[in-house]
Chains A and B, each alone.
Chain A
Amino acid sequence: MYKYILRRLIQMVPVLLGATFIIFAMVFALPGDPTAGMCGDRPCSPAFVAQFRTEHNLNDPLPTRYAKYMVNLSHGDLGTNFRGVKVAEDLKQRYPTTAKLAAMAIVFETVIGLIAGVLAGIRKGKFIDNLVLVSTLLVIAIPVFVIGATMQYYLGVKWKLFPVTVSSGATFYELLMPAFVLGSASIAYAARLTRTNLVENLRADYLRTAVAKGLTRRRAIGVHALRNSLIPVVTYVGADFGGLLGGAIVTERIFNIQGVGGYTFTSLHNRDGVAVVGTVTILVLVFLLANLLVDLLYGVLDPRISHD
């Protein structure tokens, strides 16, 4: 088990290195000069452009730039973005906010998604099942910015139940509505996954056996069927955490949350490679760790899966 974890952790090193290089190269390959758009519709002065390019190593060829970046990174220095702010400083401020938002979205996703999925699964074909199917279909079909803007307008602006935007503190209460919006599509997927797997397992031989030997329905479903149905759901939720971290751009904009999504977007837009690589590298790391956690959870859910 520990050997397995160690092996996985060591495997992460080349993945991370490769990922940073690919991202670095991709930002480098984007067309358009970073200084071209800085002075509006007019070109910047040559002196400014020259200094800017030197300051941010823009004149070096790709391998040199990457090497310089990695040397700094090995000292824990993520570099300075085009606005003259340390990337580490920006990320220290932004990642906790986004992580909080994503974690709350995951809680919504698992709690509401599981409950809805289980209810639909055990009452297959009944009213509640149809209700869950139709409502999740609706949520999946509506783009997240429509859900976000609508909820913001009615719950925030009109009925004043929730704050319209999130302040610098990003409190639990302020993040409730954005987290729900962010998690909405995932809630629907989690509910549908749970339902489908549960329905399948309810027809399985081992469950008939369990009921036949006298287990209560609650125990048969809750312990045996549900546990086996959860493996795909856990895989989905685990992978989704990373997705929610990076994919919160739309939600972050609507509710003015100063998180990593918007940061990545503006940095990409400004061709601010150093900022993009710093942000995305951490995202990759989170993805890898979440995947490891999911793999370990398989063993807990299904003892037949072994990591030795």
Chain B
Amino acid sequence: MRGTTRTVAMVAGVSAVTLLAAACGGGDKGSSGSSSSAAGKTGGAVTVRGCNPQNPLIPGNTNETCGGNVLDAITAKLIHYNPTNAAPENDIADKIESSDNQNFTVTLQKGYKFHDGTEVKAKNFVDAWNWVANGKNAQLNSYFFEPIEGFSDVQCGDADCKVKPKADKMTGLAVKDDYTFTIKTTEKVSNLPVRLGYTAFAPLPDSFFSDPKAFGEHPVGAGPFKFDSWTKNTEIKLSKFADYKGKFPAKLDNLTFKIYQDDDAAYNDVIANQLDVIDTIPSSALIDDKYKTDLPDRNLSKPVGVFQDINFPPSKVDPAYADPKVRQAISMAIDRQTIVKQIFNNTRQPATGWVAPVVDGYKANACGEYCTFDAAKAKAKLDEAGGFKGGKMTIAYNADASHKAWVEAACNSIKTALGVDCVATPVVDFATFRSKITERKMKGMFRSGWQMDYPSIEDFLAPIYKTKASSNDNDYSNPAFDKLLDEAAAQTDAAQANAKYQQAEALLANDMPVAPLWYGTAQFGWSDKVTNVKVTPFGTVDLTSLQLK
């Protein structure tokens, strides 16, 4: 995803707190994220921490967690991600078939209903996807539909959309009958079914198209919960959808998202049992694992699909970092282990590659020695490159989130190992920081991060390092890498596709477009009243399994 997807707050670190709060503990993939087993009861009402949605609640236009968590609970998609290991499971889809990774036939299960009583049919998907993809509608998540044939024809002719799109519909989508439709992609895509679980792919009821604005205030989905009310700035209320016939029904009768502006306030409410679930622990409570004593047996730390790194500037902006050897030297000069321990209280996991361990296709140690701290080797590498020619190094960060401590620590580590002065450079806030990067005016290194859109190794590679990819902030381009990605996308066998992606990832070690730092983990806490709190690899609470004791 081009956008950082939903957890804007997390990766962007609008709240630094969230950033601080990542990652503890074992990164073994597939470790269960559930609280001690549970004989909870069915029914009852629960309040979870929410935040203010930044946009009206339309699946195609919601790319941050605040609105995303709500929409996730009220929509059903073709695919459902297993809350424990993120494995894709069929939800509305009965089957998704393809023999060539380019022509897909989707068959729907019968009996799914929208909350307004209408049945979920093939055209609800096709119409919804065409609408979201259409440039006229300017939806934030439209890029998800980029692989589908005809996507470029539904884009506006110019930036202001004065030149209207050539077509209204993508040629790649066709309704066969009420319960079957086909998808044709422009190029081969091996993991298309995995992507279809993202909220942007949710079907929309017929009523949506007559009045999208009203829908945004009162969304209608086909999911286990239905939307009841939204008191702006205060709370969003959902209740169990009685007619839900799918495999993942809600156990609770009522679910309220209470909107908080501050993590500490929510945290204190959970300790006092006035709030049931929080999905971030404030940094103050992470120190010495204070939250584990405050919330005994009602806390959890789990690896999530977040990757953080130091980005090197494009060589035309700042040639001092153009030599891969310089970049490798810098990467080797960063003592990840110590920073994670001393600054993040072990709520991060030192990175050994470019792909987070929670996804299918992850291979440990892709970065090898270049991500292992070794001051002597780092210095030798820099000497081999002929030293650093840019004077002093800088690492920029947005000062409105708590990045200062770790950036300074990383700089100190570099300075000590390489003997080159390194300065942590604050940029006033996130908006300014991003502007400088996208306008290619950011000299020196800068922090960045990636939150996965869907659980696949491909999502950590293609959108960031492919030539001219949407999130390729440093203009990295390697034809061999691009070729491997294309080959991987053409593989019909998942294991073989992953092997190709892993080969591509291995190339990054030679070029070092970004220096991997650490993978995220998320910390959760809950009240005495609830049980069966499962945390997904996306760092969200699985609301359908949540129960009262």
- A residues with a Cβ closer than 8 A to B are 31-34, 36-52, 54, 82-85, 89-90, 93-94, 149, 152-153, 156-157, 160, 163-165, 168, 252-256, 258, 262, 266, 269-271
Q: List A contacts of B438 (CB < 8 A).
A: 36, 43
In the assembled complex, the Cα of A34 lies from the Cα of B428 at a distance in Å of: 14
B368 to chain A, nearest CB (A): 26
Given A39-B63, A48-B138, A83-B53: A32 and B268 within 8 A (CB)? Answer: no
Q: A36-B434, A40-B451, A41-B448 are in contact. Are A50 and B159 (CB under 8 A)?
A: yes
Q: Does B215 make an interface contact (CB < 8 A)?
A: no
List the B side residues contacting A40 at CB < 8 Å. 3-5, 7-8, 11-12, 63-64, 451
A83 contact set on B, CB distance < 8 A: 52-55
Q: In the complex, what residues of B have CB within 8 A of residue A48's CB?
A: 138-140, 142
User: Which residues B242-281 have CB closer than 8 A to chain A?
Assistant: 259-262, 264-266, 268-269, 271-272, 274
Inter-chain contact B142/A47, CB cutoff 8 Å: yes
B509 within 8 A of A: no
Classify the interface of chain B: helix, strand, loop or mixed.
loop
A141 to B125, CA, bound (A): 61
Identify the closest chain B residue to A59 (Cβ): B160
Q: Please determine whether A38 and B269 come into contact, CB atoms closer than 8 angstroms.
A: no
Residues of A within 8 Å of B455, CB to CB, are none
A84 contact set on B, CB distance < 8 A: 55-56, 216
**SS of A interface (majority):** loop
* CB contact between B262 and one of A51, A90, A256 (< 8 Å): that residue: A256
> Are B64 and A32 in contact (CB-based, < 8 A)?
no
Assess the A269–B272 pair: CB atoms within 8 A. no
Cβ contacts under 8 Å, A54 to chain B: 160
The 13 sampled A-B contact pairs (Cβ below 8 Å) are A32-B434, A38-B140, A39-B2, A39-B140, A40-B3, A43-B438, A47-B135, A50-B156, A85-B232, A89-B232, A157-B271, A269-B431, A270-B431
Q: Are B268 and A41 in contact (CB under 8 A)?
A: no
**What's the A-B contact tally at a CB cutoff of 8 Å?**
166
Contact B161 A47 (CB under 8 A): yes
- A50 near B12: Cβ-Cβ < 8 Å: no
**Which A residues touch B470, using CB under 8 A?**
42-43
Please state if B156 and A47 are interface contacts (CB–CB under 8 Å): yes
Do B140 and A46 touch (CB < 8 A)? no
| Contact residue among B12, B56, B435 (Cβ-Cβ distance under 8 Å from A41) | B12
Given A32-B435, A254-B265, also A51-B2 (CB < 8 A): no
Chain B residues near A255 (CB-CB < 8 A): 265
A15–B431 Cα distance when bound, in Å, is 31
Report yes or no: A31 in contact with B435, Cβ–Cβ below 8 A: yes
Q: Flag if A51 contacts B161 (CB, 8 Å).
A: yes
Is B14 on the interface with A (CB-CB < 8 A)? yes
List residues of chain A with CB within 8 A of the CB of B142.
Answer: 45, 47-48
B37 lies within 8 A of chain A by Cβ? no
Q: Which residues of A contact B265 (CB under 8 A)?
A: 164-165, 253-256
Kindly state the separation between the CA atoms of A269 and B54 in the bound complex, as whole angstroms.
13
Q: In the bound complex, do residue B155 and residue A47 qualify as a contact, i.e. CB atoms below 8 Å apart?
A: yes
Any A CB within 8 A of the CB of B168: no
CA distance A258 to B110 in the complex (A): 44
A258 — which chain B residues lie within 8 A by C-beta?
Answer: 233-234, 259, 261
Contact check: which of A33, A47, A266 meets B431 at CB < 8 Å?
A33
Q: Are A252 and B261 in contact (CB under 8 A)?
A: yes
For residue B432, CB closer than 8 A to chain A, the reply is yes
Give the size of the chain B interface in residues (CB under 8 angstroms): 63
Question: Which A residues touch B431, using CB under 8 A?
Answer: 32-34, 36-37, 269-271
Contact of A42 among B2, B64, B272 (CB under 8 A): B2
Q: Distance in Å from the Cβ of B62 to the closest Cβ of chain A?
A: 11
CA distance A157 to B274 in the complex (A): 10
Q: How far is the CA of A295 from the CA of B2 in the complex (A)?
A: 58
Top-7 shortest CB links A-B = A40-B4, A32-B431, A32-B432, A39-B3, A51-B138, A36-B434, A37-B431
Q: A266: which B residues are within 8 A, CB to CB? A: 52, 261
**A271 CB contacts on chain B under 8 angstroms:** 431
Chain A residues with CB below 8 A from B1, complex form: 42
Docked Cα-Cα span, A270 to B8, in Å, equals 13
Q: Which residue of A lies closest to B308 (CB)?
A: A41
Q: Is the pair B261, A45 in contact by a Cβ cutoff of 8 Å? A: no
Contacts of A36 in B (CB 8 A): 430-432, 434-435, 438
List, in ascending order, chain A residues with CB within 8 A of B264's CB.
Answer: 149, 253-254
B449 partner residues in chain A, CB cutoff 8 A: 41
Option from B14, B140, B216, B429 in Cβ contact (under 8 Å) with A44: B140
**Residue pair A93, B233 in contact (C-beta under 8 Å):** yes
CA distance A33 to B434 in the complex (A): 8
A39-B2, A45-B2, A52-B138 given as contacts; is B435 within 8 A of A164 (CB)? no
Do A46 and B274 touch (CB < 8 A)?
Answer: no
Shortest Cβ distance from residue A18 to the other chain B in the assembled complex, whole angstroms: 26
B window 321-376: CB within 8 A of A: none
Give complex CA distance A255, B233 in Å: 14
Q: Is B400 an interface residue (CB 8 A)?
A: yes
Task: Give complex CA distance A145, B161 in Å.
Answer: 48
Shortest Cβ gap from A45 to chain B (Å):
6
Judge whether B210 is part of the interface by a CB distance below 8 angstroms. no
User: Chain B contacts of A256 at CB under 8 A?
Assistant: 260-262, 265-266, 269
A38 contacts across to B, CB distance below 8 A = 8, 54, 140
When distances are taken between beta carbons in the complex, the residues of chain B under 8 Å from A270 are 431
How many angstroms between the C-alpha atoms of A274 and B143 in the bound complex? 29
Q: Which residue of A lies closest to B9 (CB)?
A: A40
Say yes or no: B55 contacts A31, CB within 8 Å: no
Q: Does B526 contact A (CB under 8 A)?
A: no
| Nearest CB in chain A to that of B235: its residue | A168
With A93-B232, A168-B234 known, 7 other A-B pairs at CB within 8 A are: A32-B434, A38-B140, A39-B4, A165-B268, A255-B265, A256-B269, A269-B400
Distance in Å from the Cβ of B530 to the closest Cβ of chain A? 18
A101 vs B400: C-alpha distance in the bound complex, in angstroms?
27
Report chain A residues within 8 Å CB of B53.
83
B231 at the interface (CB under 8 A from A): yes
Whether, in the assembled complex, B181 has its beta carbon less than 8 Å from a beta carbon of chain A, the answer is no
Contact B471–A41 (Cβ < 8 Å): yes
Q: Does B312 touch A at the CB level, under 8 Å?
A: no
Q: How far, in Å, is A305 (CB) from chain B's closest CB?
A: 43
B3 touching A31 by the CB < 8 A rule? no
B198 at the interface (CB under 8 A from A): no
A296–B264 CA distance with the chains assembled, in angstroms: 43
Contact B432 A165 (CB under 8 A): no
Q: Let me know if B261 and A253 touch, CB within 8 A.
A: yes
Query: B135: nearest residue on chain A (CB-CB)?
Result: A47
Cα(A175)–Cα(B151), bound, Å: 53
- Chain B residues within an 8 Å CB radius of A94: 233
Residues of A within 8 A of B54 (CB): 38, 82-83
Is A152 a contact partner of B4 (Cβ separation < 8 A)? Answer: no
Q: Assess whether B450 is interfacial by the CB under 8 Å rule.
A: yes
B2 near A43 with CB under 8 A, answer: yes
Contacting residue for A47 out of B138, B272, B429, CB 8 A: B138
Shortest C-beta distance, A161 to chain B (Å), equals: 11
CB distance from A100 to the nearest CB of B (A): 15
Bound form: Cα–Cα A36–B441 in Å: 14
Cα(A45)–Cα(B7), bound, Å: 17
Most buried by A among B3, B64, B434, B435: B434
Across the interface, which residues of B come within 8 angstroms of A160, CB to CB? 272
In the assembled complex, the CB of A252 is this many whole angstroms from the nearest CB of chain B, namely 7
